[in-house]
Chains A and B, each alone.
Chain A
Amino acid sequence: MRTGLGGSMDEGKLSAVLGRAGSGDADAYAELFREFQPRVLALCRYLLGSFEDAEDAASEVFARLQRSMKTYDAALPFPKWLMSVASHHCVDQLRRRRVQQRIFDPPDERTPEAVAPQTSPLEELVSVEEQDAVRAAIAALPERSRLPLVLRYYNELSYDEIAATLSLSRANVATLIFRAKQELREALARNEKVGKNPKLAKAHKGTY
C-alpha cells in the first residue's frame, strides 16, 4: 500500500481479522478500526471539507460497520469496499446538507477547454512542501470538482462507480474530473505567484 495512513496489516492477517469480524468478534472490529480509521478519516476529510464533519462521518462508518459487513462481498478487496462505503456515507451527508436530492447539477456541456486553455498538466513533485501544496489545493477545490477527483484518485473508483455514487452520467464525471484537474493547475500556478505561465511554476518539472 502506498498510503502513509497506517496500513501495516498484510493480506493473510486481514482475511483472518475479517473472518473473526464476520463471526461477531468485537476485538476484530477494534483492529479494523485501528488499521483503517486514518484512511477513512482522510477520505471523509477530502469529501466533506471540514475536519469535524469528517470525524463524525468516520465514527459513523465504523459504528455501522458491524451491520454493513453483511453486505460485504468477499470477492472485493476489503479496503476498496470500506472506502466505497465511506464515500457513500459522505455523499449522503452532503446530500442531507442540501434540500435537493442531487449534489450536482449536470455540468453544462460547453467545451471544457475554454475553462483554462493555457494550463499544462502537473508533473513530478520533488519536495514534501510541493506535495502538501497540492493536497491543500485539492482540499480547497469547490465540492463539485473535489468529490469526483478524490473518488477517482484517492478511492480509485471507476468513472461508472463515481457516476453511481454521485448520481451523474458517466460523461458528466469525465468532464468534472477534467475540469477539476484544470482548476487544480490554475490554483497551484496562482500559488506560485508567477501569473499564468505554467512553465515557471515549480510544479512543472518535465517537458513535453
Chain B
Amino acid sequence: MDCFSELKYSIYVDGELPAEERWQVDEHLLECPRCRPLVAALRREASLLSDVLQSTPAEALETATGLGSALGILGAFSGMVAVAVGVVMTLTWAGREFLGSAPLFNPLNRAAIITVFVDAALYLANQGASMLYSIVTTLSALMLGFLVLVAVRLALRRNSLSMGLLAGLGLAFLLGSPAPATAMERRGGTVVTVPASQTIDDSLFVAGQSVSINGTVNGNVYVWCQRVVIRGDIKGDLFTGNQSLEINGTVEGNVYTYSQNVVVRGHVTRGLHAFSANLEVDKDGQVGTDTEAFSGDARVDGAVGRDLNLRVGTLEMTGHVGRNVHVQAGDTITVFAPARIDGNLEANVNSSDHVHIEPGAAVAGKTDVHLTEKAPSRYSQPRFYVWQAVRLGAALLTGFILFLLFPTLFAGRIESALGTLSAVGIGFVLLIVPPIAAVAAGITLVGLPMGLLGLMAWIAGLYLAKVFVAAAIGRMLVPPGADPKRQNVAFALSLLLGLVIVFVAINLPYIAWLTKFLVLLLGLDLLGRQVLVTWRRTRSRMA
C-alpha cells in the first residue's frame, strides 16, 4: 500500500481524521518504517507548538522582536529629524525666495523666534480681543475637523449609526459656521503704488517687490515685500515684514515692523515696534508714544514722545525722548550733544566704558548704568550637572512611585516607525487641545474648577512626559525578566537607564529644543494612550 501524504498525517496527529481513515493510517504505520518516524516527528511538533504558545510570557507578546522595535525607533527618530530638517530648510528657502535675503528671516535664528513671540505679544496687547476671537474660531474649526475625522473613522470601524450621526452633525456644524469676514483690499505685483490722489477706505493688504503708498489709507496696512516707502497717510496701523521700510509720511496708528532697515522721517502718531538690523529715527522723524525695538544698530535723532526701550548692538542718539530711556546694548551707547532725555536713562552694558554721554546732552532724571555679566556656558559649570542629577533623581523617584501606584500607565510602547510618527501627531493634539479645552471650560463659572484641574493635569503631564519616554526606552533596552519579585528593581534600573538617555538627549547643545519637543510629544502620547487603556480596563472591571 502507498504511503499517505504529510497533510493526512498532520490531520491524523491532530486527532481529526474520521475513524475509518484513522484505522487505515494506524494499519499503514504498523508496516511502514519510513512513515513511523515522520508521524512521531509531527506529533512532537504539534506538542511543541502547544507548549510554546501556551507558555507565552506576557511581555513576549508586546513587541515581535526587540531588534525590530529598536530599529523602528531609530527609523522613526531619523524620520522625524528628517522631517524637522526639511521643514527648517523649506522655511529658510521660502524666506530667501520670497522675502529677499533678509538675514533675520532665518528660522534658526534664535532672535527671530523670540521676535515672533514679542510681535505676537505686542499685537495681542493692541488687537487682543479681535485676534483672540479669530484664534478661537480657527482652533474650534480645527478641533471640529479633528472630531469629525475621528468620528468618521470610528463610524467606519464600528459601523454604528450614532457615530455616523455624530460625524454628520460635526460636518454640518463645521460647514454651517460662518467664515471669518475679510473686508480688506488686496494688491499684488512687482511694483505696487498707491498714488497720492487715491484714498482707500478699507484696510490694505499688499504683497510685492516694491511698494509705495503715496495716498491715504483709512484702515490698517499690511505689507509683505522687499521695500516699502510710505509718503502718504495711514489712518490705522502699519504691519510690515520686509527688507527696508521708509516712513516719510504719516502713520496715525502703531507701526509693527520686521525689517532689515527701518527709517522714520515722517510721523508715527502712536508707537513704533520694530525688529530690525538697523533702526533710524531721522532728525525730522517723530514717534508719538513709545518706541520699542530689537535692533542691531539704532540711531535716534528725532523725537520720541514717551519711552524709548531698546535692545540693541549700538545706540547713537541726538534726539529728544519725552520720558525714560531703557537700553540693553551689546556694544556701545552714545548720547551726543543736543540730545535731551526728559526722564531717566537706564543702560545695561557689558562694560562701563561702553556708555558715552557728551557734556552737552541733557538727562533730566537719573542715569543708571548696569553691567550685564556674560553668562559662561552652562556646560562648563559643575552646578549644571549637579542640578541635572537632582532633576534626574526626582524624575526617577516620581516614575518609580507612579509605577508602584499605577503600573499599567507604563505599559505603553513605541511599536514601529509609523506608529511613532502617528504618536507624535497624537502627542501634538494632546499638547494643544487640553489647555484650550480648559480655557473654554473655565469661561463658565461652573466649568472653572474643572478647567483649572484639567490645566493642572496637563501641566503634570508635560512634566511626566519625559519619565514615560524614559520608561519606554529603558524597557526596550532592558526588557523586564519574568520573575515577578524582581519587577520593581528591574523597572527602576530600566527607568534609570532610560532617564539617563533622555536627559542627555534633551541637554544636547544646539538640538536640545528639538529633542525636548519630540520627547514631550512622544511622552504625551504614551501617557494619553495608557490612561485610555487603564480607563477602559477599569470600566471593564466595573462592568
Contacts and interface: CB of A to CB of B under 8 A. Distances in A.
Interface size class of B (residues with CB under 8 A): 35 or more
Interface in A52-71: 52, 54-56, 59-60, 62-66
Interface string B39-51: 0111011101111
A112 interface: yes
Given A62-B543, A206-B44, A51 B53 contact: no
A206 B58 CA distance: 29
Contacts of A59: 533, 536-537, 539-540
B372 interface: no
Q: Is the interface of A mostly helix, strand, loop or mixed?
A: helix
A206 B10 contact: no
A88 B16 CA distance: 21
A3 B40 contact: no
B60 A135 contact: yes
Contacts of B157: 96
Interface in B397-445: 413, 415
Contacts of B62: 45, 51
B449 interface: no
Nearest to A6: B58
A158 to B, nearest CB: 7
B543 A66 contact: yes
Contacts of B63: 51
Contacts of B413: 51
Interface size class of A (residues with CB under 8 A): 35 or more
Interface in A128-179: 131-132, 134-136, 138-140, 149-150, 152-154, 156, 158-159, 170, 174-175, 177-178
A165 to B, nearest CB: 15
A128 B20 CA distance: 40
A96 B159 contact: yes
B64 interface: yes
A63 B37 contact: no
A120 B41 contact: yes
Given A153-B49, A181-B10, A139 B58 contact: no
A112 B9 CA distance: 13
Contact of A52 (B60, B158, B415, B537): B415
B48 A125 contact: yes
Interface in B67-117: none
Nearest to A185: B45
A9 interface: no
A156 B64 CA distance: 23
B52 interface: yes
A41 B44 contact: no
B129 interface: no
A23 to B, nearest CB: 15
Contacts of A16: none
A85 to B, nearest CB: 13
A174 B11 contact: yes
Contacts of B536: 56, 59, 63
Contacts of B177: none
Nearest to A171: B11
Nearest to A44: B61
B58 A174 contact: no
A65 B540 CA distance: 8
B201 interface: no
B419 to A, nearest CB: 8
Given A41-B58, A42-B58, A175-B7, A136 B542 contact: no
Contact of A65 (B7, B16, B543): B543
A106 interface: no
B14 A4 contact: no
Contacts of A112: 5, 7
B196 interface: no
A185 B382 CA distance: 58
B38 interface: yes
B64 A4 contact: no
B57 A208 contact: no
B16 A2 contact: no
A178 B49 CA distance: 13
A88 to B, nearest CB: 17
Contact of B51 (A2, A46, A132): A2
Which 8 interchain pairs have the tightest Cβ spacing? A208-B37, A63-B540, A121-B45, A62-B540, A121-B41, A154-B53, A153-B49, A45-B61
29 contacts: A2-B54, A4-B54, A29-B541, A33-B537, A33-B540, A42-B61, A51-B61, A51-B62, A55-B533, A59-B533, A59-B540, A96-B157, A111-B5, A113-B7, A123-B44, A123-B45, A123-B48, A124-B44, A131-B52, A134-B49, A135-B53, A139-B61, A149-B49, A153-B46, A153-B49, A159-B14, A174-B11, A175-B7, A181-B49
